[in-house]
């Protein structure tokens, strides 16, 4: 997985390209199955949209809400914010080994799940799965989890945008020229240090402008700030 793949996921123009890029990036991480769920709560009720390449046969067999409530991975993502790494032992320890047996038939033998939040009562859960065992706890597994979390940030931003009416530049807070300059170079994959060299300022000043832009745009990462500006045609 490379940075450009992440950017491409976040900038997807439609659901078809989004899912295609999402699956391709997951495969680059070593996982043939990926699924994401965007949950949005409002006064009018809740909205849920599922993305990914979940096997149709599995969807047909996994509609039992009672089983979903007993699933230890689902419960973890529902109640906690840290990633979860699972395998057969996770289900056996929770006393629901039969759920793992059923899911394993469709390739869900071991995997990783993450949960992220957006402003406005919006939540995004994403998981990747495969049949082969994951690396033992250590640096390699940590890198895999970190890669998935970064993918989730870009996927969440795209998923929310694709379900939201088109954003207009006039609806965004006014950004300064320096803030837009910094975001423009960030969109090209440059680090804060590289942007500092290009623009002839200190790295601290670059981070200052990034922080201001993030605060104005009501986002929690520079990547989300970039994607929001791109969606509005500012970059």
Contact 10, 155 (CB under 8 A): yes
Domain span holding position 36: 3-162
Contact 73, 82 (CB under 8 A): no
Residues 116 and 219 placed together within one structural domain of the fold: no
Residues 153 and 193 placed together within one structural domain of the fold: no
Residues 152 and 203 placed together within one structural domain of the fold: no
Express each pLDDT in 26-77 by its tens digit: 999 999 999 988 887 654 455 677 888 988 888 766 666 677 788 999 899 8
Mean pLDDT, residues 128-148: 93
Element at 128 (helix H, strand E): strand 122-130
Taking alpha carbons only, the member of 158, 161, 127, 149 closest to residue 53 is: 127
- What's the distance, CA 221 to chain centroid? 12
Residues 32 and 69 placed together within one structural domain of the fold: yes
Q: Please enumerate, as own/partner, the contacts of 80-89 that have beta carbons within 8 Å and a separation of 24 or more.
A: 80/115, 81/115, 81/117, 83/112, 83/113, 83/114, 83/145, 83/148, 83/149, 84/112, 84/113, 84/114, 85/111, 85/112, 85/134, 85/141, 85/145, 86/110, 86/111, 86/112, 86/113, 87/133, 87/134
Which of 147, 162, 177 corresponds to the end of one domain? 162
Contact 39, 123 (CB under 8 A): yes
* CATH number of the domain within which 197 lies: 1.10.10.10
* CATH number of the domain within which 121 lies: 3.30.450.80
Q: How many domains does the chain have?
A: 2
CA distance 17 to 56: 19
Which of 162, 193, 215 corresponds to the end of one domain? 162
pLDDT of residue 169: 59
Residues 180 and 157 placed together within one structural domain of the fold: no
pLDDT of residue 47: 63
Residues 219 and 140 placed together within one structural domain of the fold: no
Helix (H, G, I), strand (E, B) or coil at 106: coil
Residues 195 and 151 placed together within one structural domain of the fold: no
Residues 179 and 129 placed together within one structural domain of the fold: no
pLDDT of residue 43: 47
| 193 band by pLDDT with thresholds 50, 70 and 90 | very high
Angstrom distances, CA of residue 166 to CA of 141, 172, 232? 38, 12, 8
pLDDT of residue 118: 75
Residues 195 and 219 placed together within one structural domain of the fold: yes
Provide the 8-state DSSP code for 168.
Answer: P
């Amino acid at each position: 997985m490379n940075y450009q793949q992440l950017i491409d996921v976040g900038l997807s123009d439609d659901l078809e390209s989004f899912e295609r890029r999402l699956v391709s990036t997951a495969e680059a991480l070593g996982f043939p199955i990926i699924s994401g769920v965007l949950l949005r709560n409002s006064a009018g009720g809740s909205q849920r949209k599922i993305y990914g390449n979940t096997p149709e046969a599995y969807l047909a067999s996994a509609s039992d809400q009672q089983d979903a409530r007993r699933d230890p991975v689902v419960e973890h993502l529902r109640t906690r914010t840290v990633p979860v790494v699972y395998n057969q032992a996770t289900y056996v320890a929770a006393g629901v080994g039969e759920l793992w047996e059923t899911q394993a038939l469709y390739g869900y033998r071991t995997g990783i799940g993450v949960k992220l939040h957006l402003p406005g009562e919006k939540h995004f859960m994403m998981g990747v799965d495969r049949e082969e065992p994951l690396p033992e706890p250590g640096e390699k597994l940590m890198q895999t989890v970190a890669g998935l979390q970064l993918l989730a940030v870009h996927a969440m931003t795209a998923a929310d945008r694709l379900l939201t009416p088109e954003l207009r530049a006039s609806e965004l807070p006014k950004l300064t020229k320096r803030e837009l300059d910094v975001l423009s170079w960030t969109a090209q994959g440059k680090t804060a240090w590289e942007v500092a060299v290009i623009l002839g300022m200190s790295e601290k000043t670059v981070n200052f402008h990034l922080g201001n832009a993030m605060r104005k745009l009501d986002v929690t990462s520079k990547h989300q700030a970039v994607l929001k500006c791109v969606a509005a045609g500012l970059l």
